[in-house]
Amino acid sequence: MPGDAAFQSRVLRATLELLEVAEGPIIVDYDEDAAAAPVTDEEAEGWACPVNFGNPKNDEETGVAAALQREILDLTPWHDLSVERRGRTTVGVSGFEMEEAGRYVTSFLDDPPAESPHEGLTMGDVLKLACDDLKAFYFEAVTARPGDVGREQLDNWFWSETELARVFMALKPICLASDDHTMRGMGLHTLVPRNVTGAWNDPDI
């Protein structure tokens, strides 16, 4: 339960006290439920993305790459607020700034880079990290405002309303056709989640 230190402490203490049980193996339920976060759209009624992505794009800003850059810019003030409120960000596995990450990812749609920008990592490795960073940026930004929002609500928002999700969907077949092992893995199961693809029998990843 994020932000509930008292609840976390009770869970942790109950867990560690199992070390003092005299005989085992042991497995026990923890009876106290965390305060329920909304899960469905109905339960999270009232939540809305703070950014309206429906803004018309001007003549210079057409195409997927430009649309993604616009979206990143629209979310940046909310991500700044997230960092201010939480005192941290989990963005940063790729080493890219977000606009740079966006450019790197969309380049795979029509003009893939000739070589990896990071020593020791393949182009596919860096693509995976850039995608993960962008997604973390989006989710941190959109949850910057106080208020509960559930997993299903966030998933629906991300996968149905964002340009980044459309980029991911467009990348999937490109990854599947790639010679790069990491990119093929992304195309199979580490770019678009099972609850979007419906591929429930995919490996446990």
Partner 1 sequence: MVRLSDLPEWERDYLSSLPCPTFDSDPWVDGPPLAERRIAIISTAGLQRRGDRPFMEGTADFRVIPGNVATGDMVMSHISVNFDRTGFQQDLNVVFPLDRLNELADEGVIGSVADFHYSFMGATDPRDMEPTVRHLAGLLKDDAVDAVLLVPV
Q: Does 3 bind partner 1 (CB under 8 A)?
A: yes
The residues, ordered by sequence, that sit 6+ positions from 81 with a Cβ below 8 Å of its Cβ are 141, 144, 145
DSSP letter (8 states) at residue 24: -
Amino acid symbol at 148? D
Distance in angstroms (rounded) separating the CA atoms of residues 82 and 193: 25
Tell whether residue 185 is a contact of partner 1 (CB under 8 A).
yes
What does the block give as tokens for 167?
């980029």
At 46, the amino acid letter reads: G
Is residue 46 within the footprint of partner 1 (CB under 8 A)?
Answer: no
In whole angstroms, what separates CA 132 from the centre of its chain?
6
Total residues contacting partner 1 (rule CB under 8 A)? 56
Site for partner 1 contains 79 (CB under 8 A): no
When asked if residue 160 is in the footprint of partner 1 (CB under 8 A), the reply is no
Q: Does 51 bind partner 1 (CB under 8 A)?
A: no
**Minimum separation from the CB atom of position 87 to partner 1 (A):** 7
Cβ(108)–Cβ(127) under 8 Å?
yes
User: By C-alpha distance, which of 138, 116, 136, 135 is closest to 182?
Assistant: 116
Report the alpha-carbon distance of residue 98 to residue 137 in Å, rounded: 8
Q: Locate 59 and state its tokens.
A: 């003549």
Interaction between residue 57 and partner 1 (CB under 8 A): no
How far is it, in rounded angstroms, from Cα 102 to Cα 65? 7
Q: Smallest gap, in angstroms, from Cβ of residue 187 to partner 1?
A: 12
Read off the tokens for 90. 């989990």
Q: For the CB of residue 185, give the shortest distance to partner 1 in the complex, in Å.
A: 5
Establish if 87 lies at the interface with partner 1 (CB under 8 A): yes
Residue list 116-145, contact with partner 1 (CB under 8 A)? 121, 125, 128-129, 132, 135-136, 139-140, 143
The yes or no reply on residue 193 touching partner 1 (CB under 8 A) is yes
Q: Under the criterion CB under 8 A, does residue 90 sit at the interface with partner 1?
A: yes
Cβ proximity of 127 and 93 under 8 Å = no
Which residues bind to partner 1, rule: CB under 8 A? 1-3, 5, 8-9, 11-13, 15-17, 19-20, 22-25, 29-33, 86-93, 121, 125, 128-129, 132, 135-136, 139-140, 143, 151, 154, 181-182, 185, 189-195, 200, 204-205
